[in-house]
Amino acid sequence: MITDVTDRTFDRLVEEATVPVLVEFWKPGCGSCRALLRQLVGVQEETAGKLLVVKMNVEENHQIPAELEISSLPVLALYRRGRFDRFIGGIGTREALLAQLTTLLDAHGAGDLDS
């Protein structure tokens, strides 16, 4: 299960994370958001200890989505060393997401997600 994060807990979670953090911004009733969440469960299982995957409901949390100027859903944001790094492609299969994350994190010296 993917952990929920709120405006209140977000900064502390991201800053204290010892691994990169992937955040899905979503809302209930968004079919694409639910489909992506299902794929992210697999990503989370395969990257345990190397990547922290969390989700934020934008209907209940407004501060962080506003700071990032999120205007469409679902959106994935990657944080490294406590700071926003980039948005990454949102819709895709577990395999496609893992390939994209591995490429991004290897390029920044964050290690191999596949091992």
The catalytic site residues sit at 30, 33
Question: Beta strand 83-88 with 75-80: parallel, antiparallel or unpaired?
Answer: antiparallel
> Would you call the peptide bond into 74 cis, given omega within 30 degrees of 0 as the criterion?
yes
